Amino acid sequence: MDQLELLKSKWQQQEQTHPTLSYKDIYKMLLKKSSSIVKWIFMISIAEILFWIVISFLTPESNKDLIQNIGLKESLSIISIFHYVILAVFLVLFYLNYKKIKVTDTAKELMANILKTRKTVKYFVIYNVLGTILAFLYVNMYFYTKKTELYTLLTNGNKNYAAIPAESFTSIFFITQLVVGAVFIGLLVLVYRIIYGILLKRLKNNYDELERIEL
């Protein structure tokens, strides 16, 4: 039994040996726990953005050259700028949610802020997953329109691609892209479900406890 459960049990029993134990004691504990969870959400979102920035710098030069030579660099740069602007907006929202919860004065306000935080996280996850899918589709549709040029660029100095017959290249390349993309998006959803899912579940539990003490 954790500290919160112990406080709830004692408060509900209204034991006279603990006259100072009250509604406020449980509320303060829920406030502290909720604030800590939202702080973790904010910190994890920062770590995630830094992770993808680092990954972008580790992109092989051959991939960068392909993007440049096939004419995708400019459009992908614009997409990247837009993406990081949106992520910055989410970071600000996460921070504001944390600050609001930290100074919440009533249980009803805390419940409203918990709901707001849960919605923000859900929109963040939906944006990242949907954005990844759309970016993947855009790049591959562009590749498809330039498949002849793509084959030439990939087979130039690359023995693995050069071994693929020209008539089979399109099928092999795009099926491989589809499989890799599906696996990547599946892993992304799984990671989000584990990390943010656990935090959101804890917030939901806090919300439920607040509903009980408000009755």
The DSSP secondary structure of 67-122, one letter per residue, reads: HHHHT-HHHHHHHHHHHHHHHHHHHHHHHHHHHHHHT--SHHHHHHHHHHHHHHHH
With b meaning 16 or more CB within 10 Å and e meaning fewer, what string describes 144-166? eeeeeebbebbbeeeeebeebee
- Residue 213, Cβ density class (10 Å: 0-12 exposed, 13-18 middle, ≥19 buried): middle
The 8-class DSSP code of residue 21 comes to: -
Check residue 6 and give its pLDDT.
62
In this prediction, residue 4 carries a pLDDT of 63
* Range of the structural domain that residue 171 is part of: 3-214
- Whole-angstrom Cα distance, residue 88 to residue 124? 11
pLDDT (tens digit, 9 = 90+) per residue, 154-184?
A: 888 677 777 778 788 888 889 999 999 999 9
Instruction: Write b or e for each residue in 10-48: b if 16 or more Cβ atoms lie within 10 A of its Cβ, otherwise e.
Output: ebeeeeeeeeebeeebbbebbbebbbebbbbbbeebeeb
Structure tokens at 46: 């920062």
Give pLDDT, residue 16: 47
Task: Give which of 151, 49, 89 is closest to 160, Cα–Cα.
Answer: 151
Model confidence at 21, pLDDT cuts 50, 70, 90, reads very low
The whole-chain average pLDDT of the chain stands at 85
Mean pLDDT, to the nearest integer, of 83-108? 89
pLDDT at 126: 95
How many domains, the chain?
Answer: 1
Instruction: Write the pLDDT tens digit of every residue in 186-213.
Output: 999 999 999 999 999 999 998 888 888 7
**DSSP letters spanning 105-120:** -SHHHHHHHHHHHHHH
DSSP secondary structure letter of residue 163: T
